Amino acid sequence: MPDRRNLKDHLIHPAFSQIGKISDQEGTETYVVGGFVRDVLLGRKREVYDIDIVTVGSGIDLATKVAASLRPGLKVSVFKNFGTAMFRFNDIDFEFVGARRESYRHESRKPIVEDGTLEDDQKRRDFTINALAICLNSDRFGELLDPFDGVGDLANKLIKTPLEPEITFSDDPLRMLRAIRFATQLNFIIEEKTLTAIQTQSNRLGIVSKERITDEINKIMLTPTPSIGFKLLEKTGLLAIILPEVQKLKGRETRNGIGHKDNFYHTLEVLDRISKNTDNLWLRWAALLHDVAKPVTKRFDERLGWTFHAHNFIGEKMLPSIFDRLKLPLNEKLKYVQKMVSLHMRPIVLSEEEVTDSAVRRLLFDAGDDIDDLMTLCEADITSKNPEKVSRFLSNFQLVREKLKDIEEKDALRNFQPPITGEIIMETFSLQPGREIGILKSAIKEAILEGEIHNNYEDAYQFMLTKGKELGLAAKA
Ligand code: CTP
């Protein structure tokens, strides 16, 4: 049960008492609202980066006066159109807004926004647990105002809108996604009426900018159990709008009595498993998308059963358009996720066979610095319910890891640079640019990967001379 007795003990930041003092002088009521209050009541320990202040008056005036009193010259950013202002003090962003209410005129369906009371402001917020306010004025410092029983919903772990959900969501459809994000972050349940409203209004997410949507998805991705969010996204219809490719992973088919696993639930299991071992957002994205091409590559073969041939490579090719659509970065982050998706089956295939040095060397060559992340993904990908299979895979992986360590020490293959360059080859055999150079370079690389020679200049040079001779090339005297 959240503790609401000693709220003033949580207002130790010097800005709070100062805001209260200036507010007293101005004759206005001022409150701290939103996430800060929610997290205090939840006892949620985390770094505070922003604090929302609402005043029954002008947010811009109050912010300006408080900033000047805290530190002369403290910069205030003013957003006149929104009637908001903010400043940063001791590494925290304080955002000020005047309490508002919306009203409808007969002649127009478009709401007009007017000055309002604290309660008018609270009812326009997204969820009851985010509509809690603590007074900062000196005589009521620390007093909690909770007209929608947000404290009860915190205790019952409920995400619920203060007004009819249709109204709250039509104010800002992103809130449908925020409901799921908070449910995932806090491990709360979305109240039934609120959940139904998301289901019926899901298509309204279309009017929200991709950046805001992706921001919420990333927050879901970074929770300890992201599957909670993705199951809700699927259930409400939002997943089909945001990530139809992941939605299509859902379902299982049976033919000739042979079924395949539901790749959506498998993917979520992999995502949860990897989240226990890494906070790397992009490795988590790789887990979400590792099987994304399974639906498009799925075939039924009388002899082999279900196959998903080359789904890793097709998946790699699908990623740029997904990243572009979601406004995810199209730089080395995309390349990294592509690499993970394209290589995600390699260690598994490797450990199904005899783990040879040469196969491990090739894996190291292809994965480079990201080899450990790849192994983390592959270990998360083992979701088999057959304990014998799981322990065989894991012990083979252990062998792969050990060999990786050995080979890395010997050959420094992680960031492979060919020991013999094209220039050296041309110089040695007095060649002009041409196909022989490519042939020799790849023969050297193959010899290193096969373990025939070590990854150093002397070995590679001797090998080049022998190979050149075989090709009928004469080395300069
Ligand atoms: N808010 C809202 N509707 C939105 C966004 C925000 O009503 N679409 C209100 C909520 O009262 C919310 C507050 O603005 O608590 C601050 O929003 P934000 O900083 O985005 O979220 P927090 O609740 O502070 O949570 P977190 O910091 O975890 O994102």
Domains of the chain, with CATH numbers?
4-156 (3.30.460.10), 162-242 (1.10.110.30), 422-470 (no CATH)
Number of the ligand 1 atom closest to the C-alpha atom of 131: 11
What pLDDT is stored for residue 389 in this prediction?
A: 85
Q: Whose CA is nearest to atom 18 of ligand 1?
A: 35
The percent of residues in the chain predicted with pLDDT above 90, rounded, is: 79
Q: Which residues have CB under 8 Å from 452's CB, separation 6+?
A: 463
283-339 pLDDT, tens per residue?
A: 999 999 999 999 999 999 999 999 999 999 999 999 999 999 999 999 999 999 999
Name the closest-CA residue to atom 28, ligand 1. 35
The partner residues of 79 in beta bridges, in order of sequence, read 84
Instruction: Give the number of C-alpha atoms closer than 13 A to the C-alpha of residue 336, restricted to the C-beta side.
Output: 20
CA dist 363 and 15 (Å) reads 55
pLDDT classification of 105: cutoffs 50, 70, 90 = low
The verdict on the CB of residue 126 being under 6 Å from ligand 1 is yes
Q: How much is the average pLDDT of 380-388?
A: 91
Are the CB atoms for 467 and 452 separated by under 8 Å? no
Please list, in sequence order, all residues whose beta carbon lies within 8 angstroms of the beta carbon of residue 280, skipping any fewer than 6 positions away.
Answer: 373
Report the sign of the C-alpha dihedral through residues 422, 423, 429, 433, in that order: positive
Q: Which atom of ligand 1 is nearest to the CA of 175?
A: 8
Distance 123 CA to ligand 1 centre (A): 13
> 34 CB under 6 A from ligand 1?
yes
360: region left, alpha or beta (phi > 0 left; psi from -120 to 50 alpha): alpha
Cα(199) to centroid(ligand 1), Å: 22
pLDDT of residue 18: 97
Q: Atom 14, ligand 1: which residue's CA is nearest? A: 34
Q: Mean of the pLDDT values across residues 345-368?
A: 82
| Average of per-residue pLDDT values in the chain | 93
376, exposed or middle or buried, with CB in 10 Å at 0-12, 13-18, 19+?
A: buried
Residue 351 pLDDT more than 70? Answer: no
pLDDT band at 106 (very low <50, low <70, confident <90, very high): low
Q: How far is the CA of 433 from the centre of ligand 1 (A)?
A: 62
Pocket test for ligand 1, best of 44, 45, 47, 126 (most atoms within 8 A of CB): 126
Residue 298 is given by DSSP the state E
What's the CA angle centered on 119, arms 197 and 169, to 5 degrees? 20
Cβ(374)–Cβ(274) below 8 Å = no
pLDDT band at 115 (very low <50, low <70, confident <90, very high): confident
Ligand 1 within 6 A of CB of 211: no
CB proximity list for 198: less than 8 A, separation 6 or greater: 165, 169, 176, 179, 180, 190, 236, 237, 238
CA of 202 to the centre of ligand 1 (A): 20
Check pocket membership of 54 for ligand 1, CB cut-off 6 A: no
Of 22-26, 105-109, 379-383, 393-397, the least confident: 105-109
Range 16-32 average pLDDT: 97
Dist CA 150 CA 127 (whole Å)? 8
**Ligand 1 pocket: which of 47, 49, 52 to mutate (most atoms within 8 A of CB):** 52
Measured in angstroms, how far is the CA atom of residue 125 from the centroid of ligand 1? 8
Are 37 and 50 a contacting pair, CB within 8 Å?
Answer: no
Residue type, 357: D
